Amino acid sequence: MEPHEEATHDEQFAARLASATPEERQRLLAGQVLHRASEVLDVPALDEESNFLENGLSSLSAVQLAKSLMSDTGLEVPLVAIVEHPTSTLLGKYLAETYEADAA
């Protein structure tokens, strides 16, 4: 993938987040978390309630997940948030709340 294509993807995702309702935004973010966590953990059967820690999340994979999500969303994703919100549903909700707070 060319660098500008990746940037375009991120810009498209950011535009989708910006135009989404709060409920849609939470769903979009949870879906992105699930996608990225599945990649990082190399667990294709991960579902929205799968616990990252129980699926082999290490400190290195947590850093990879945080960096991926920061790149995708433009939001700060502290490592502690991944540990405190260890499912895509919980982390997606946290990111949606962070997005709302940053927008205010």
Query: What residues contact 55, with CB distance under 8 A and at least 6 apart?
Result: 37, 41, 43, 46
In whole numbers, what is the pLDDT of the chain averaged over residues?
89
Predicted TM-score (pTM) of this structure: 0.87
Q: In this structure, how many other beta carbons lie within 10 angstroms of the beta carbon of residue 23? A: 9
Per the listing, tokens 């502690």 go with: 80
H/E/C letters for each residue in 20-73? CCHHHHHHHHHHHHHHHHHHHHCCCCCCCCCCCHHHCCCHHHHHHHHHHHHHHH
Assign domain 3-103 to a CATH class: mainly alpha
pLDDT score of 38: 95
Write out pLDDT tens, residues 79-89.
999 999 999 99
